[in-house]
Amino acid sequence: MTSLNLLRPSTVPEAAAMLAEHGNDARVISGGTALVPLMHEKLLTPAYLVALYKVPELNYITYEPEVGLRIGALTSLRDVETSPLVRQHAPVLSYTMGHIASVRVRSVATVGGSLAEANYASDPYGVLITLDTKAKAIGASGKRSIEMRGFVTGHYETALQPHEVIIELFVPEVSHDTCATYIKYTTRSQKERPAVGVASLARLDGAGTCEELKVVVTAAAETPQEIAEAEQLALNEKPSPSLVREIALRYSQQIEPLEDHRASAWYRRQLIEVLVRRGLQSVLRVEGGHSR
C-alpha cells in the first residue's frame, strides 16, 4: 500500500517549491471535490498532496474600475456566485457559478480547481472565454498569464505546464453596452453537469447594429467550441430572426458532438441548435427566431 503525504504550504512560492521538488509524485488539492473521487477510484495515486487551503493570499475578489475583477484561485464557487462585486460587474459569471452542482459542492469547490480539472462537461469555460478571461499561473519559470480561450486542450488536459499552479482569474472590465447569457441544459438532475452549455455575449450600438458577438458551446465536445465564421455573420448587421437561425444552424452543423451518458451525439446536435438560437435571441434582442 502506498502512503499519502499531505503537505500544507502557507505561501504560493512554498507551494510551487513543493510541487517542483516532488515532480510527478505530487498533486495540488484545493476543494478536493474533483480530485478525491478520482483518488478513491484509484485513477490518480499521488504520493504527495500539496493542499492550498492554508494559503490565505489566494482567497479574494477585488475590482478596479476600468480594469476588471481579480479572483484568487482558492475562492469558492459559492463566494464568486454571491459576491456583490461579481454580481455588479460580471453578472453572467455570478449566474453561471450559481448553476454549478449544489450549494454544498459550490461552498467547497474552488475557481482554480474548476479550471484545472478540465472536464469537458464543466460550466464556467464558455462564459470565461466570452468575457476574455485570463488565468494567472506560477511555475518553475515564474508567473504567466494564460488566455481562457485555448486553455482546455483536451479531456482532462490544459495549457498548464506540469506543476504550474493557478493563482488568479482576471476578468477584464465588461462594457455597459454588453449583454451576456449562459444557458445550461441538463438531462438528469438540475444540479448535474450540462449535456450542453451555451455562453453568448453581444454588443450592439445605439442603432441596434451588432458590433461584437461571441458564442461558445461547452460540454458538447472535448474542448469548448466557438465557430468564428458563424459569429462574424452578425458583425455590422441589424440582428433578425433569419440571422439568428443561420448562426445557430452553423453551430449545430460544424460542431462534432460527442456521445456519453448525458446525451447522444444526435441529441446534442439538436440541443446546440436550439440553445445557441435562444442565447442569440437574448443577447441580440431578437424575438420570433423559433423555427420549432
Enumerate binding residues for ligand FAD (CB under 6 A). Answer: 27-35, 52, 73, 100-101, 105, 109-110, 112-114, 116-117, 122-123, 165-166, 192-193
198 CB-near residues (< 8 Å, 6+ apart): 126, 182, 183, 215, 216, 217, 218, 272, 275, 276, 278, 279
Comparing C-alpha atoms, which of 214, 215, 208, 199 is closest to residue 236? 208
Q: Which is nearer to ligand FAD, 123 or 231 (CB)?
A: 123
Residue number of the CB closest to ligand FAD reads 113
- Please count the other Cβ atoms lying within 10 Å of the Cβ belonging to residue 45: 11
Cβ 217 to ligand FAD shortest distance, Å: 14
For ligand FAD, give the closer residue by CB, 32 or 172: 32
The least distance separating ligand FAD from the CB of residue 29, rounded to whole angstroms, comes to: 4
Smallest gap from Cβ 70 to ligand FAD, in A, equals 14
| Shorter beta-carbon distance to ligand FAD: residue 29 or 213 | 29
Nearer to ligand FAD, 33 or 281 (CB): 33
Q: How far is the CB of 173 from ligand FAD (least distance, A)?
A: 24
Q: What is the largest CA-CA distance in the chain?
A: 68
Least distance (Å) from ligand FAD to the CB of residue 1? 22
Rounded least distance, CB 205 to ligand FAD, Å: 34
- CB closer to ligand FAD out of 138 and 248: 138
Of 129, 275, 290, nearest in space to 194 by CA: 275
Grid cell listed for 48: 504527495
Nearer to ligand FAD, 72 or 279 (CB): 72
How far is residue 285's CA from residue 155's CA, in Å, rounded to a whole number? Answer: 34
Closest CA to 213 of 194, 199, 196: 199
Q: Could you tell me the smallest distance in angstroms from the CB atom of residue 44 to ligand FAD?
A: 7
Is the Cβ of residue 104 or residue 290 nearer to ligand FAD in the bound state?
A: 104
Measured between alpha carbons, how far is 91 from 179 in angstroms, rounded to an integer? 10
For ligand FAD, give the closer residue by CB, 94 or 281: 94
Which secondary-structure segment (H or E) carries 281?
A: helix 265-283
Rg value, the chain, Cα:
20
Quick check: helix, strand or coil at residue 112? helix
> How far apart are alpha carbons 84 and 100 in whole angstroms?
18
Crossing angle between the packed helical segments 265-283 and 241-254, to the nearest 10 degrees? 150
Shortest distance (Å) from residue 48 CB to ligand FAD: 11
Distance CA 156, CA 117 (A): 6
